[in-house]
Amino acid sequence: MAGCGKPVLVMVLKGYPRISETFISNEILLLESLGFTVRIVSMRKPREDFSHASVGRIRAEVVYLPEAILPALPRLAAAAVRTLAAHPRGWLRAAGLMLRHFIQSPKSATVKHLLQAGLLCQEALRPGESPHLHAHFAHSPTSVAMYAGLMCGAPVSFTGHAKDVWTQDPVRLAEKIGRAAFVVTCTMANVAYLKKLSPNGTPVFGVYHGIDLSLFAGGGARPANGPPYRLLTVARLTAKKGLDTVLDALAVLAGQGIDFTYDLVGAGEDREALARQAARLGLAGRVRFHGALPHEQVLELYRAAHAFVLGCRVLPNGDRDGVPNVVVEAMAMGVPVAATDVSALPELARHEETALTCPPGDAKALAANVARLLTDFGLRDRLTGAAREVVAAEFDNAANTRRLAAIFAEYAGSTPGAFAAGRVL
């Protein structure tokens, strides 16, 4: 869909808004402030009954795609017919690609993505616009954007994050990279991996998500040194976060007579298993499961915390974290961090420099690091001071979004593979 109208950045998301993906809503808000016209296409409606305050300041129109084929079949079929009529060659190219994908891996989701792409072309694109489709996450959102781009002739790019990068078939991921105008990802570890997969030199850019440094300002009183200590984790309650290792480490601390309570913020499928583990370890009276909370309440917990603890691991299917934003937030707030040294975490949590780290699954080592953070005040002050400097220099979301905006301004509208290998920002 070539055109000379005002460029529109069409962001294809898995869900919007999502409490666990504040970095995306912050990115959209900042892009709007830089003059971009953004339209959001969400593959599912919100599943939480609240959102962060920043979402309310986003002006972008939101188009929701149906999550299932059968309930929306008339709408999807009508959109497919209209898109076929408007872009017959592009629609047939997309359908042929979908058929090849379906033969390789027969899944109904593949057909759904093609139908959703046709609906995107009809309901999220406007005559006379010059759209650029950008998907967040390299799996299903990129598939929908890729089919839609083929249909309507719009350039496509995507941002890869964690699970979507590391658990996807490398052959399929390489194909997506090859069809993209450019790729963005949020860690340098991801950059190296995606560049190796690129079949045609598609530019791959590393841009950290970052946080709003004005929101997570560490000023004000810190909790008094000494017990009772308050330990904190903010994370989805899922296996790759290593929360079972954290609880095992807390049991070691309790066995050493250290007086503490533990605030666990987040929701997820492991909630009941973690509660049972806490009870089995004799920690039920010390652990508070808060569920998902808005930023305002999380900020109060950061301010009260003596240490932040996270036990990330790599799962057998390759799923892993990048640089969790909660670690950035804790460091910005002046909370000392004990974490594991997996994946991209050492890009920020550098052992004995900005944090204390240990191998995943090592509860005794994690407990020892937490104990050091609680009792060695000189170490704690040195680590938190250095951590704040790194966060300010590398994880300011306003500065990083300006870098992202420069990429969009330079490359949006380009054809796949038209540029040499991209630089890392």
When pLDDT is averaged across residues 31-35 and rounded to a whole number, the result is: 89
Maximum mean pLDDT: which of 2-16, 252-266, 396-410: 252-266
Report pLDDT digits (tens) over 59-97. Answer: 999 999 999 999 999 999 999 999 999 999 999 999 999
Q: Are 183 and 203 in contact (CB under 8 A)?
A: yes
Q: Residue 51 to residues 47, 110, 196, 294, 407: CA-CA distances in angstroms?
A: 10, 30, 37, 7, 29
Domain ranges of the chain: 7-210+397-411, 229-394
Task: Find the mean pLDDT for residues 364-388.
Answer: 97
Q: pLDDT value at position 374? A: 97
Rounded to whole angstroms, the Cα distance separating 10 from 39 reads: 5
Q: How many CA atoms lie within 13 A of 408 on its CB side?
A: 28
Q: What is the pLDDT of residues 336-349, one digit of tens each?
A: 999 999 989 999 99
- What is the structure's pLDDT at 415? 44
Q: For residue 165, give every residue at least 6 positions away whose Cβ sits within 8 Å of its Cβ, in sequence order, or none.
A: 138, 173, 185, 190, 193, 194
CA–CA distance, 423 with 184 (Å, rounded to integer):
11
89 contact partners, CB below 8 Å, separation of at least 6: none
Is the distance from CB of 329 to CB of 302 less than 8 angstroms? yes
State how far the Cα of 13 lies from the Cα of 42, in Å rounded to an integer.
5
Q: What is the pLDDT of residue 219?
A: 62
Report the distance separating Cα 246 and Cα 160, nearest Å: 28
Token digits for 112? 């759904």
Q: Residues with Cβ < 8 Å from 286, sequence gap 6 or more?
A: 250, 254, 260, 261, 262, 278
pLDDT score, position 50: 58
Segment 197-212 shows an average pLDDT of 92
Residue 35 has what pLDDT?
Answer: 87
Phi, psi (rounded to 5 degrees) for 352:
65, 5
Q: What is the pLDDT of residue 2?
A: 40
Return mean pLDDT, the chain: 91
Q: What pLDDT was estimated at residue 425?
A: 38
| Cβ atoms of residues 178 and 416 within 8 Å | yes
Confidence of residue 137 (pLDDT cuts 50, 70, 90): very high
Paired strand residues for 39: 10, 61
The mean pLDDT value for 7-25 works out to 85
In this prediction, residue 210 has a pLDDT band, given cuts at 50, 70 and 90, of confident
In the structure, what pLDDT confidence band is assigned to residue 7 with cuts at 50, 70 and 90? confident
Handedness of CA 314, 319, 322, 325 (dihedral sign): negative
Which pLDDT band, with edges at 50, 70 and 90, does 419 fall under? very low
Facing residues of 358 across strands? Answer: 340
**Cα–chain center distance at 90:** 31
Domain 229-394 has CATH 2.30.40.10: no
What's the Cα-to-Cα distance from 90 to each of 42, 267, 387, rounded to whole Å?
Answer: 22, 42, 50
Nearest of 212, 239, 251 to residue 329 by alpha carbon:
212
Question: Each residue of 156-191: pLDDT tens digit?
Answer: 999 999 999 999 999 999 999 999 999 999 999 999
| Mean per-residue pLDDT, 249-256 | 98
Pairing assessment for the beta strands 287-291 and 337-340 based on DSSP bridges: unpaired
pLDDT tens per residue, range 310-326: 999 999 999 999 999 99
- Closest by Cα among 133, 150, 130 to 88: 150
Q: Determine which helix (DSSP H) or strand (DSSP E) holds 309, and give its type and residue range.
A: strand 307-309
Query: What's the CA gap between 305 and 338, in Å, rounded?
Result: 13
pLDDT at 413 > cutoff 80 = no
Mean of the pLDDT values across residues 351-361?
98
Measured between alpha carbons, how far is 422 from 207 in angstroms, rounded to an integer? Answer: 12
- pLDDT at position 310, please? 98
Confidence of residue 51 (pLDDT cuts 50, 70, 90): low
7-210+397-411: in CATH 1.10.40.30: no
List, for residues 215-243, the tens digit of each pLDDT value. 887 666 688 889 999 999 999 999 999 99
265 pLDDT band, cuts 50/70/90, is: very high
Nearest to 121 by CA among 89, 151, 88: 151
